Amino acid sequence: MDKKKNIARTNPDRITFNEFFPCFLKSFRIVMRTLRAIQTTKKLKPDVCMSLGTVVEDNAEKYAHYTALLFESEKVSYREFNEQANRFANYFLALGARKGDLAVILLENRPELLFCIAGLAKIGVITSLVNPNLRGAVLGHCLTIKPARHFIIDEGLVEAFEEIRPSIPIDPASKIFFSVNRGEKKALPGYIDLRSKLNGAAVTNPATTPTIQIQDPLFYIFTSGTTGKPKAVIYEHSKWLFSKYANGAEMGYNPGDVIYIPLPFNHGTALISWASAMDRGATVLMRRKFSVSNFWKDVKAHQAIAFSYIGEMCRYLMNQPPKADDNKNPVKKIIGNGLRDDIWRAFKKRFGISEVYEFYASSEGNVAFSNLFNLDCTIGLTFSPHALMKYDVETDQPFRDDRGFMQRVAKGEPGLLLGEITEDNRFVGYTNGEATEQKIFRDVFKKGDAWFNTGDLVKKIGFGQAKFVDRLGDTFRWKGENVSTMEVEEMISRSKQVKEAMVYGVKIPGTEGRAGMVSLISNTDLEHFDLKGFAGAVRRDLPPYAVPLFLRFQGSFEMTSTLKRIKSKLKQEGFNPQEVKDPLYVLLPGEVEYAALTKKLYTEILNGKFRF
């Protein structure tokens, strides 16, 4: 084998010239194309009338007969996509919907979700994209984070909505729509059957589309953040357009190319991937929910040349038994975030994938990285003004010098990633002004400057490339979702069995992110603690990815002098029964009750016996 053509990095934290240069030559055109696209979007003035809606209408002309969307047995052309979006726009216009109104969208993946986003975007109505997996108080919080004029509820989610509806303030003038999915249920009293109403709506382009400006809000995406409850990120048309041009140039699709997006479309990665497909008339293959067993069947059936991913998805695919034809598929490139070093090269080799366009970004952030050179195990480079700062993990605060200014890390060291906030590199933030301010560091290098705090540790590994190291603060990532420890703590603390709870993330070998662990001070002795009932309660009231997998029972919590609970030591000790003298329990896959975590069971978990 020619080693120059397949160089494995001996030092994972440093890129060599021999590794970088061949990738640079191969990717030069892609990089230049992407740079031109970025420059184009940066030159757009705030008052330019350009939006998702104008793109949909332009594509209906330019790629009229190309397929825009594939879903189950449905096939929607770009012309038909625009017409369906127009039905939403014209119907809601007739109802009196206006620019700046808010519509809550609680829908699973299906074409109507994208029609709705695009159609309401043409009016300037903001769509609040609520995670359909949420339940209870957290769902209620997301539904009422801002007063909404319209609620569009999926047929399969009516029961979840009805469960919390009496406890949330909804303006009597607000209209609640029942969006028919499979036609298995009838609309409840007080609901409007949206499908029947849309059938009679006009399919012509509304006059409002050319009035929408790039800095108008497009939709809200919810993120756990670090302050406990989910926050609504304000996602402007400009950000979606940036993804269209920049990621579209990066991926280089041709009209008719199929990109598989099996992720939920309330997730930023799916929305970015959709935007990149729209750049040059590619086809989006959408799935209701990600399915490991059907993934490659879908890819082959529709000849998808690309797919979008989050890291855990790739590990799920890797965990399937190998097949002789694993690399016999049409996929050439993939785009997403969170692909981990330990499976990166093996994943590419097993499935015959030549290009991995890993990126780093957050829905609210003003700094993003992209692996334009197709190098292994890197989030790539950024064109955003940024800095990596020294950070004290114990105090969860950046270091500041005697003058009160922060300090950059030394070359090659991990640091807290900050994005400079300028007129050309704005931080729009959240619907909550206080939450927005909490994500800003001021007086970082000089008096009066402002920087967005990503909450992430990143390190530079040479030739402008960077590597994601870890997520700081209370929020941790599991199953591709951000888990807010405060949110989980609040839910657990409602239990009569629990006096106090502290939640944090712990690493399980062979998995992505960190699994939830909770340290409990019980209101009863351990012998009478109902472990099965506790497991049932957390599974009922929390999303699956937020359910703690490990329990630790303590008599008291260690506190700082200012009465702040200390988590750092708990995180370090994890769930190792050889280090932790307190009683430990684990909720194994498929079990309904927490089991005592013995040394033998701990060893089996480390050796990968269980798939969490």
Mean pLDDT of the chain: 89
Note the pLDDT of residue 564: 62
3-state SS assignment for residue 457: strand
Strand (E) or helix (H) holding 336: strand 333-337
The model's confidence at residue 480, banded by pLDDT at 50, 70 and 90, is confident
Separation of alpha carbons 533 and 3, rounded Å: 57
How many of the other CB atoms lie within 10 Å of CB of 395?
11
The domain spans of the chain are 3-30, 44-360, 381-471, 476-606
Separation of alpha carbons 344 and 143, rounded Å: 38
Mean pLDDT value of segment 484-488 = 79
Residue closest to 208 by CA, chosen among 275, 81, 121, 146 = 121
Note the pLDDT of residue 182: 65
Would you report the helix, strand and coil content of the chain in percent, each value rounded to 5?
Answer: 35, 25, 45
The residue type found at 569 is K
Separation of alpha carbons 241 and 363, rounded Å: 14
Mean pLDDT value of segment 544-569 = 81
Note the pLDDT of residue 563: 47
Note the pLDDT of residue 471: 75
Please, is 222 exposed, middle or buried when counting C-beta atoms within 10 Å of its C-beta (0-12, 13-18, 19+)? buried
The model's confidence at residue 227, banded by pLDDT at 50, 70 and 90, is very low
Angle at 476 between CA 420 and CA 229, to 5 degrees: 80
The per-residue pLDDT for range 50-88, each reduced to its tens digit, is 999 999 999 999 999 999 999 999 999 999 999 999 999
The model's confidence at residue 560, banded by pLDDT at 50, 70 and 90, is low
Q: What is the CATH number of domain 44-360?
A: 3.40.50.12780
pTM for the full predicted model:
0.82
Note the pLDDT of residue 394: 58
The model's confidence at residue 486, banded by pLDDT at 50, 70 and 90, is confident
The model's confidence at residue 190, banded by pLDDT at 50, 70 and 90, is confident
Note the pLDDT of residue 476: 81
Which two three-digit tokens encode residue 507?
């690493």
Mean pLDDT value of segment 495-503 = 89
Note the pLDDT of residue 118: 98
Note the pLDDT of residue 12: 66
3-state SS assignment for residue 355: strand
Separation of alpha carbons 502 and 519, rounded Å: 5
How many of the other CB atoms lie within 10 Å of CB of 295?
19
Higher pLDDT, 351 or 6: 351
Separation of alpha carbons 527 and 450, rounded Å: 53
DSSP state of 172: T
Separation of alpha carbons 557 and 561, rounded Å: 13
The model's confidence at residue 225, banded by pLDDT at 50, 70 and 90, is very low
Q: Which of 16-20, 359-363, 384-388 has the lowest mean pLDDT?
A: 16-20
Note the pLDDT of residue 588: 95
The per-residue pLDDT for range 568-586, each reduced to its tens digit, is 889 889 999 998 999 999 9
- In this chain, the answer to whether the domains covering 44-360 and 476-606 adopt an identical fold is no
**Residue 47 above 90 pLDDT?**
no
**Residue 465 above 50 pLDDT?**
yes
Note the pLDDT of residue 469: 83
Q: Which of 50-64, 306-320, 405-419, 481-495 has the lowest mean pLDDT?
A: 481-495
**Residue 9 above 90 pLDDT?**
no
Residue closest to 83 by CA, chosen among 118, 128, 127, 125 = 118
Please give the torsion angle defined by the CA atoms of residues 121, 127, 133 and 136, in that order, rounded to the nearest 10 degrees: -170
Note the pLDDT of residue 173: 81
Mean pLDDT value of segment 92-108 = 95
Separation of alpha carbons 559 and 153, rounded Å: 45
3-state SS assignment for residue 559: strand
The per-residue pLDDT for range 276-327, each reduced to its tens digit, is 999 999 999 999 999 999 999 999 999 999 999 987 788 889 888 999 999 9
Which two three-digit tokens encode residue 43?
């030159």
Q: Which fold has domain 476-606?
A: GMP Synthetase; Chain A, domain 3 (3.30.300)
Angle at 483 between CA 472 and CA 398, to 5 degrees: 15
**Residue 208 above 90 pLDDT?**
yes
Which two three-digit tokens encode residue 599?
């040394």
For the chain, percent of residues with pLDDT exceeding 70: 95
Note the pLDDT of residue 481: 80
Higher pLDDT, 228 or 327: 327
**Residue 562 above 60 pLDDT?**
no
Mean pLDDT value of segment 552-560 = 84
For 372, residues 6+ apart whose C-beta sits below 8 A from its C-beta are: 27, 30, 31, 34, 250, 357, 380, 381
Q: Which fold has domain 381-471?
A: Luciferase; domain 3 (2.30.38)
For 216, residues 6+ apart whose C-beta sits below 8 A from its C-beta are: 51, 99, 124, 236, 237
The per-residue pLDDT for range 131-148, each reduced to its tens digit, is 998 888 889 989 988 889
Strands 355-360 and 369-370, by their bridges, are: antiparallel
| Backbone φ, ψ for residue 223 (5° rounding) | -135, 145
Note the pLDDT of residue 416: 94
Higher pLDDT, 456 or 303: 303
Mean pLDDT value of segment 531-550 = 93
